Structure 1
């Protein structure tokens, strides 16, 4: 059966899908789907072949869209995506993760929901809201959002999450109880002497390396970090990068020591690529050293940003790497970042990029 690669693109005006064969030389773009709703995150579930899109806002309300035919038709549901009466309403769904026949959704204001029927109905994982620090969580620039969802692929009870700006939290019992896991990550915006709090860090992106170990990487508002113990302790790996500030991070599909970043020039300097010259930065040794990858990327007048969920890899050999910009351009590399090409442009601002490999 021929292999097809799908790049799933969430934008401010719906979902788009770029398709190619395993050579990844020529791409076809379709969309917009989901009635041009604002979509924060789109994923493909490898187990079921279903594509899901997370979206909404205060005008549309929250919902998760679903396509069972690789994007040709879509339905959506918000059944159960609500807090109890009298609590602040759910504004939007920001993140999705499919694992162990369950679908998880992270929402704004920060909370976690789960579906056991493919996104048709949802239930609130209330343990997170009951955490004793909950009343002290403060919103980041985009709001109080649960944007990173990392279920463990081996143990269905283990989940890591990232919340702006409350930090990283972990559960080992399926969401009944949670603990902050931020030791070693800075919060430079805190008063002097309080830069390493138990919680309150503004995590931007949290990803898990492939393999059975609890190796995590985190792009933070205040640095880039690596944890070899499931987030119990973090070590800075920002030395050698052009900036300590950025949003997206993407792991290699097979090599736990290979990671991709796209740093920006800082939180108050415009939040675009440094010197307006685009580069993806790659480490092959877990953050000990970094290499800038620029071949095929614009090296002048590149005043774009890349959001926290807008970078991904595929699982082909060699792995492809993809990122989407705030200006609506989608870039792709079919050789693990060595060379790049723009495969779509003039899209709405891109919120997320994920991949899906299918056999047809």
Structure 2
């Protein structure tokens, strides 16, 4: 599975290596500034998309379980209206997600149904990207202006 986020809040998906592409349905309450796309490594029909829209009234994180036909906003516990740069699925548990936001890292252990702040001692800083070791033992968070943090789950 391959996906891309495009201008105007559009999402394109392919399940045949790029031979053909499908435009996913519209993201609800979309601020038009999509930033990242991530697939569940165990279920290719489950797709996550994030947004850095500068409008606090818009949604910033979505989930689809039907390959982009429908979307659900998944922001319960994320800071309201805060942009999300990236989302990463834990390679050891497809129900554990990490979100890189403009106010630190947040984790969901229930596939996005709820979120809590993650990273003891980490300041509320703009996190631009996340990487999780294959054995899930370490989360690396790249930040804007505050270096790289290594966080233990």
- Between structure 1 and structure 2, the one with the greater Rg is 1
Aligned residues: 148
Distance 1:243 1:114 in 2: 33
Q: TM-score, normalised by structure 1?
A: 0.38
Distance 1:253 1:259 in 2: 10
Encode CA deviations 1:20-71: one digit per residue, 9 max, x unaligned: xxxxxxxxxxxxxxxxxxxxxxxxxxxxxxxxxxxxxxxxxxxxxxxxxxxx
Match of 1:221 in 2: 102
Equivalent residue in structure 2 for 1:155, among 43, 48, 65: 43
Match of 1:121 in 2: 20
Match of 1:181 in 2: 74
Deviation at 1:116, TM superposition (A): 4.0
Structure 2 residue runs of 5 or longer lacking an equivalent are 54-58
Distance 2:125 2:119 in 1: 6
Alpha carbons 1:182, 1:201 under 8 Å: kept: no
Alpha carbons 1:243, 1:263 under 8 Å: kept: no
Q: TM-score, normalised by structure 2?
A: 0.84
Structure 1 residue runs of 4+, over 6 Å off? none
Match of 1:109 in 2: 8
Equivalent residue runs for 1:187-202 within 5 Å:
196=80, 200-202=81-83
Alpha carbons 2:41, 2:94 under 8 Å: kept: no
Match of 2:140 in 1: 260
Q: Does 1:283 align with 2:151?
A: yes
Match of 2:56 in 1: none
Equivalent residue runs for 1:136-151 within 5 Å:
137=31, 144-145=33-34, 147-151=35-39
Encode CA deviations 1:160-215: one digit per residue, 9 max, x unaligned: 111222311001122211110011111xxxxxxxxx3xxx4310111111124410
SS in 1 for 2:86: strand
- C-alpha change, 1:222 and 1:212, in structure 2 (3 Å) is closer
Structure 1 residue runs of 5 or longer lacking an equivalent are 1-101, 187-195, 265-272, 287-360
Deviation at 1:117, TM superposition (A): 4.0
Root-mean-square deviation (CA, aligned residues, Å) is 2.0
